[in-house]
Structure 1
Amino acid sequence: MNHDASPPGPAGPPRTTPLAGLAVLGTVMFGVAMLGVAVAAFLSFGMFVRMLSVPLRTPDWHVWVGTFNGIALITLAALPVAALTAWALARRRRALGTTAAWQRSFAEVGIAYGTVPWVWITMIPGSGAGVVPGRLSLVPLQDLATMGSAGIIGNLLVLAALGALAPLRFAALRSVPRVLALAAACSALIEVAQLVLRLDRVSSVDDVLLNTAGAGLAALVSRPWWRSLPRTAGTRTPVAPAT
C-alpha cells in the first residue's frame, strides 16, 4: 500500500452527459418541429414540398436569401452542420475540463440555430423598402386580427429558442421574468431596426408581445431542465493539486 499517495481531492460538480446534451438539442428541434406542424396544418404536404423546392428551381440569390422559401431551405440544410458544431464544441470543452460542456455547447448552438433564421425573416424588406416611410402600430392587440394564424404562430416562434435555451446556458437567466425581459428587449430592437432601415414593414407592439410570449412559453417548457441547476457555475472542473 502506498502511504505517500495524496488523498483524493474534493469531487467536482457532476459533468453533464451526452444524453443531457441531446435533450437540449431536442428542445431546439421542438421549435423547428412546431414550425413544421404549423406549416403542414395550413398547407398541404405537396404544397409545402413545392415551396421548399422553389429556391432549387430558381437560381436567383434573392430567392435564396430574400424569401421565406429560401431561408427555410437553408435552415433545414444547416441542421447537420449545427449538430456537428455543437458536438465538436462540447468535445473540445470536455477535453479542457469545462463543466457542463454538453449543456453549454448545445444551448449556444441551439440559440443561434433557432433564432437567426427567424430574425432573418423579420428583416426581409418589402417591395417599397427605402421608399415608403416607416410605419408604427402602438395600439396593443390591434394587429392580431390581420396577422392570421400563420402570422401569430410565426411571431411566437421568433424568440422561442432563445427563451428555451438561454436559461440552460446562462445562470443569470434562470428565471421566467428575466427571460421575458430579455425577449421583450430583443424584440423591440428588431422592430426599431425595421423602422430605422425603412424595410417597408410595420413595426408593431403586437409583434413584441407575441415574440415575448413565445419566449416565455418556451422557457416554461424547458423549465424542468434548468430550474434545478445552480444559479452560478464554474467553468473548470476542480483538479487536486499535484504533490
Structure 2
Amino acid sequence: MDHSASLAAPTRRTRRMVIVGLAVLGAALVAFVPGRMVLMMLSMPLRRPTWQVWFGTFNGVALVTVLALPLAALAAWALARRRSAAGATSAWRKSLAEVGIVYGTLPWVWMILLPGDEDGAVVSLVPLRDLLVMDQGQIVGNLLVFAALGFLVPLRFVALASVPRILALAAGCSVLVETAQYVLRLDRVSSVDDVLLNTAGAVLAALVSPRWWRATPETPSDRPRPTPVPGR
C-alpha cells in the first residue's frame, strides 16, 4: 500500500479547508469595506512609522497583521514539519488550525483593548440599544472578532466540535474582553451588544466548517494489524 498516497488526501482536504475559511473571511471584508479604503488604512502608519502608531492605533495593528502573514505561514509549516517528523497524525490540520486561531483572533482582541475616546469606562447592559446606532464597519468588525476561533477550534479540538460549545466559548471570551475594557479603564464602551455580535460571528463561522469536524482519519500505521493465522 502506498502510504504517501494515503496521507496526501487528508493534507489536500486540510489545505482546501484553510482556503475556504480564508475566502469566507476575505469575502466578508471585501463585501463591506471598499478596497481603496483598506489601502488607505494600511498606508497611514507608513507616513508616521513610530512604535506608537504601529502598535497603538487600529491602522497600525491592521498593517502589522498583514505584514505578519508570511510569518504565520512559516510558523504553520514549521509546526507541521515537526509533527510529521515525530509521526503525529493530522500534522497539517492541527498546525494550520492553531496558527489560524492565533493569527485570526489576536489582532482583533488587540484592537479592542486599545484606548478609546469615551469619557471614562462605560457599561451598557441593555440588549440591542447600542446595535441600533452602530455603523456597518462596527457590526462587521464585531462579527469577525472570534470568527477564526469559531471556524478553526472545532477542527483542532474534537471536544469543542459542536455549535453550543462554540457559542459558550465565544460568549465567555467576549465577556472576558469586555470586562477587561472596563477593569483597565480604557475609555471604551463595554456593551452586551458587542458580546452578542462577537458570539454570533463565531457561531456563523462555525456553521461553515462542520464538514471538517469529523475525526481525523487513521494513518496506516495506526490501524490495527490483522492477527496472523498459524500455518499460512
Whether the TM-score (by the shorter chain) exceeds 0.5 is: yes
Scaled by the length of structure 1, the TM-score of the pair is 0.82
RCO comparison, higher one (Cα < 8 Å, 6+): 1
Among candidates 166, 171, 174, match of residue 187 of structure 1: 174
Q: 1:221 to 1:206 in 2, by over 3 A?
A: same
Residues in 2 aligned to 1:203 and 1:89: alpha-carbon distance in whole angstroms: 37
Paired residue type of 2:25: G
Aligned to 1:140, the other structure's residue is in SS state coil
How far residue 25 of structure 1 moved from its aligned partner, in angstroms, is 2.4
How far residue 211 of structure 1 moved from its aligned partner, in angstroms, is 0.4
Residues in 2 aligned to 1:207 and 1:156: alpha-carbon distance in whole angstroms: 9
Match of 1:22 in 2: 15
Is 1:165 aligned to 2:140, yes or no?
no
When the two structures are aligned, how many residues end up with a matched partner? 220
Structure 1 stretches of at least 4 aligned residues deviating more than 3 Å after TM superposition: 14-17, 237-241
Among candidates 65, 80, 89, match of residue 55 of structure 2: 65
Among candidates 101, 121, 124, match of residue 111 of structure 1: 101
Q: 1:114 to 1:195 in 2, by over 3 A?
A: same
Percent identity reads 57
Aligned to 1:59, the other structure's residue is in SS state coil
Aligned to 1:98, the other structure's residue is in SS state coil
How far residue 188 of structure 1 moved from its aligned partner, in angstroms, is 0.2
Name structure 2 gaps, 5 residues minimum.
226-232
Match of 1:201 in 2: 188
Residues in 2 aligned to 1:28 and 1:71: alpha-carbon distance in whole angstroms: 22
Paired residue type of 1:39: V
Aligned to 1:136, the other structure's residue is in SS state strand
Residues in 1 aligned to 2:107 and 2:128: alpha-carbon distance in whole angstroms: 25
1:75-114 → structure 2 map (5 Å cutoff): 75-114=65-104
Residues in 1 aligned to 2:84 and 2:211: alpha-carbon distance in whole angstroms: 24
Match of 1:126 in 2: 116
- Asked whether the equivalents of residues 24 and 103 of structure 1 are also in contact (C-alpha less than 8 Å), the reply is no
Scaled by the length of structure 2, the TM-score of the pair is 0.86
Match of 1:229 in 2: 215
Q: Which moved more, 1:179-188 or 1:60-69?
A: 60-69
Let me know the Cα RMSD of the aligned residues.
2.5
How far residue 184 of structure 1 moved from its aligned partner, in angstroms, is 0.3
